[in-house]
């Protein structure tokens, strides 16, 4: 074995070296953090106050990465995970940590992010206890599993962190049951029919990814084959087995073409293969049509709680015009439409906007309209056209709000403002600028994804007096 030694800050380490390590706390990704001769060491699967024998897996200039070789002193908050691959695949980082401690950790992530970016007055923010999810398992409505050959068999699952090593997942305790039944049945069909699966090394083969979404309210399932080319060998036999024999709950089968070696899961071209082109989900008493690429929170039951918290933070009334930025398929805006005069929203994915406008029709909502475009470009145009708004809800991607949009917000100064965030670092960074005009009334963490390190929060902002 080649040993990469590193002499920096007098730390003599190499891949494979083992040493005892006391875990001080959890990092933002749920990894245990300890210090080896003053150098930070990240250890997935290790918990605070544990003493482990760590084995170095990577040596980097500023930190070390290690795995648990064995545990010498166990945390009393350690529990046995339901998934045996909790330590080796992404998406289960905290499955070995008691649920009450997971909730405390998620609140702490927000506090740590505020400490790091120090927005105005952050020490006095009211960061509330995390709202627990009603179900700790079986809540995820969507599975996006890579399909590859592993040991001569067709495998479907998730990669190990920082690698392209696929973990074949027979079961997955956080997924809704039908999503996993569908993935496993379809994986077997692909093997039986000998449909070529994608090979990254040679950029050959056809099926790259299976995306399966289950509706919480109707039980309908949508299956999308994400492929390397438009052709899909044995398509007729495949669809026959899905429709007629084996998967009666699959009511929509789509194909997405995403050629070549790319980090993006989805390509631009959609092909309708069988059944309907969408499935139906119900939230907050409304029906939502979901096409394959449209974004919906992964935990539908807890999504209702999230939107109710956003509504509380906004304190809407009948005379308000609400802007729904980063609107997706309109779930937040439409769920609040009955409480306001008008809702206007924007989103960059055309299919999502089409879904949002169709969802408005589907629910007989006449005061909501959605447009394709970036919030930072659409908003100034609407204002030029004479649209004045009182209330704003934003639910940006993990990267946070666009700079230009922040400028717009600070210029227009809407009275009522709720920021829904899934990225705590970007939230804290954005608050640095927003707090020049706004006061942070409170931050409410909500656990949308138990067993993972991910957290959502709703921030209530009001104009400074």
Do residues 156 and 211 share a domain?
Answer: yes
Q: Is pLDDT at 239 greater than 90 in this prediction?
A: yes
Do residues 169 and 316 share a domain?
Answer: no
Do residues 333 and 364 share a domain?
Answer: yes
220 belongs to an annotated ligand binding site: no
Query: What is the CB-side half-sphere exposure of residue 164 using CA atoms within 13 A?
Result: 11
Complete DSSP assignment for 333-370: HHHHGGGSSEEEEEES-HHHHHHHHHHHHHTT--SEEE
**CATH number, domain with residue 190:** 2.40.50.1070
Q: What share of the chain is helix, strand, coil (3-state, %, to 5)?
A: 25, 35, 40
Q: CA-CA distance, 248 to 221, in Å (whole number)?
A: 9
Last residue of a domain, one of 78, 95, 121: 78
Q: Is pLDDT at 214 greater than 70 in this prediction?
A: yes
Q: Is pLDDT at 246 greater than 70 in this prediction?
A: yes
8 belongs to an annotated ligand binding site: no
Segment 335-359 shows an average pLDDT of 94
Q: Is pLDDT at 1 greater than 80 in this prediction?
A: no
Do residues 241 and 264 share a domain?
Answer: yes
**CATH number, domain with residue 69:** 2.40.50.140
Nearest to 166 by CA among 174, 157, 175: 157
Do residues 265 and 302 share a domain?
Answer: no
Q: What is the pLDDT of residue 12?
A: 86
Query: What is the share, in percent, of the chain residues with pLDDT greater than 90?
Result: 88
Segment 223-238 shows an average pLDDT of 97
Is 88 a domain residue? no
Do residues 291 and 362 share a domain?
Answer: yes
Q: Is pLDDT at 5 greater than 80 in this prediction?
A: no
Global pTM reads 0.92
Nearest to 225 by CA among 191, 265, 263: 265
Residues 308-324: pLDDT tens digits?
999 999 999 999 999 99
395 belongs to an annotated ligand binding site: yes
Is 448 a domain residue? yes
Q: What is the pLDDT of residue 465?
A: 86
Segment 81-98 shows an average pLDDT of 87
Q: Are 432 and 118 in contact (CB under 8 A)?
A: yes
Q: Is pLDDT at 43 greater than 60 in this prediction?
A: yes
Q: CA-CA distance, 209 to 194, in Å (whole number)?
A: 16
Do residues 54 and 114 share a domain?
Answer: no
Q: What is the pLDDT of residue 245?
A: 75
Last residue of a domain, one of 280, 311, 343: 280
Q: Is pLDDT at 6 greater than 90 in this prediction?
A: no
Do residues 154 and 230 share a domain?
Answer: yes
**3-class DSSP state of 290:** strand
Q: Which of the four pLDDT bands, split at 50, 70 and 90, describes residue 7? A: very low
- Map tokens 């963490």 to a residue: 445
Q: Which of the four pLDDT bands, split at 50, 70 and 90, describes residue 17? A: very high
Q: What is the pLDDT of residue 2?
A: 47
Q: Which domain holds residue 59?
A: 17-78
Residues 450-462: pLDDT tens digits?
999 999 999 999 9
Q: What is the pLDDT of residue 448?
A: 97
Do residues 412 and 370 share a domain?
Answer: yes
Is 41 a domain residue? yes
Do residues 345 and 413 share a domain?
Answer: yes
Complete DSSP assignment for 164-198: --EEE-S--TTB-HHHHHHHHHHHHHHHHTTPPBP
Q: Is pLDDT at 331 greater than 50 in this prediction?
A: yes
Q: Is pLDDT at 3 greater than 80 in this prediction?
A: no
320 belongs to an annotated ligand binding site: no
Is 9 a domain residue? no
Is 11 a domain residue? no
Residues 431-446: pLDDT tens digits?
999 999 999 999 999 9
DSSP run (H or E) holding 40: strand 39-43
| Cα 125 to Cα 27, 85, 106, 161, distances in angstroms | 21, 38, 16, 34
Nearest to 342 by CA among 322, 362, 364: 322
Q: What is the pLDDT of residue 160?
A: 85
Residues 122-132: pLDDT tens digits?
999 999 999 99
Q: CA-CA distance, 290 to 294, in Å (whole number)?
A: 6
417 Cα distance to chain centroid: 23
**How many domains does the structure of the chain reveal?**
3
Active site residues: 422
Do residues 296 and 440 share a domain?
Answer: yes
Is 12 a domain residue? no
**CATH number, domain with residue 437:** 3.40.50.150
Q: CA-CA distance, 460 to 442, in Å (whole number)?
A: 6
Tokens encoding 5: 């030694």
Is 96 a domain residue? no
* Residue 226: strand pairing partners: 209, 256
Do residues 147 and 273 share a domain?
Answer: yes
* Residue 19: strand pairing partners: 54
Q: CA-CA distance, 337 to 344, in Å (whole number)?
A: 10
Q: Give the chain's mean pLDDT.
A: 94
């Amino acid at each position: 074995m080649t040993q990469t030694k590193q002499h920096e800050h007098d730390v003599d380490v190499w891949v494979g070296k083992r040493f005892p390590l006391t875990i001080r706390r959890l990092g933002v990704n749920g990894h245990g953090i300890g210090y080896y001769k003053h150098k930070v060491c990240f250890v997935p699967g290790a918990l605070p106050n544990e003493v482990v024998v760590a084995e170095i897996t990577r040596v980097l200039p500023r930190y070390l990465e290690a795995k648990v070789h064995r545990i010498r002193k166990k945390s009393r908050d350690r529990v046995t995970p339901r998934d045996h691959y909790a330590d080796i695949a992404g998406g289960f980082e905290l499955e070995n940590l008691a649920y009450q401690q997971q909730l405390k950790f998620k609140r702490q992530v927000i506090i740590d992010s505020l400490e790091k970016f120090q927005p105005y007055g952050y020490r006095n923010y009211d960061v509330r206890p995390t709202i627990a999810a009603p179900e700790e398992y079986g809540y995820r409505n969507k599975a996006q599993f890579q399909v590859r050959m592993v040991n001569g068999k067709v495998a479907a699952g998730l990669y190990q962190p920082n690698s392209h090593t696929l973990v074949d997942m027979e079961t997955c305790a956080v997924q809704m049951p039908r999503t996993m039944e569908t993935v496993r049945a379809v994986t077997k069909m692909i093997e039986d029919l000998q449909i070529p699966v994608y090979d990254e090394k040679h950029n050959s083969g056809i099926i790259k990814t299976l995306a399966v979404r289950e509706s919480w309210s109707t039980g309908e399932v949508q299956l999308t084959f994400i492929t390397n080319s438009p052709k899909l060998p044995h398509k007729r036999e495949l669809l026959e087995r899905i429709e007629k024999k084996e998967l009666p709950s699959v009511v929509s089968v789509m194909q997405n073409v995403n050629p070549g070696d790319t980090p993006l899961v989805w390509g631009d071209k959609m092909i309708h293969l069988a059944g309907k082109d969408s499935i139906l989900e119900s939230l907050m008493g409304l029906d939502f049509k979901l096409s394959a690429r449209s974004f919906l929170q992964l935990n539908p039951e807890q999504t209702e709680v999230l939107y109710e918290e956003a509504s509380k933070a906004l304190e809407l009334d009948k005379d308000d015009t609400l802007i729904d930025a980063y609107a997706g398929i309109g779930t937040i805006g439409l769920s609040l439409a009955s409480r306001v005069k008008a809702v206007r929203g924007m989103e960059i994915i055309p299919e999502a906007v089409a879904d949002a406008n169709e969802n408005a029709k589907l629910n007989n909502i006449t005061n909501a309209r959605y447009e394709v475009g970036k919030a930072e470009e659409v908003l100034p145009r609407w204002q030029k056209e004479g649209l004045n708004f009182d209330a704003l809800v934003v639910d940006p991607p993990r990267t946070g709000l666009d700079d230009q949009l922040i400028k717009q917000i600070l210029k227009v100064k809407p009275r009522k403002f709720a920021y829904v965030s899934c990225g705590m670092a970007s939230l804290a960074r954005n608050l640095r600028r927003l707090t020049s005009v706004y006061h942070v009334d409170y931050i409410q963490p909500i656990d949308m994804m138990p067993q993972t390190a991910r957290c959502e929060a709703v921030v209530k902002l009001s104009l400074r007096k």
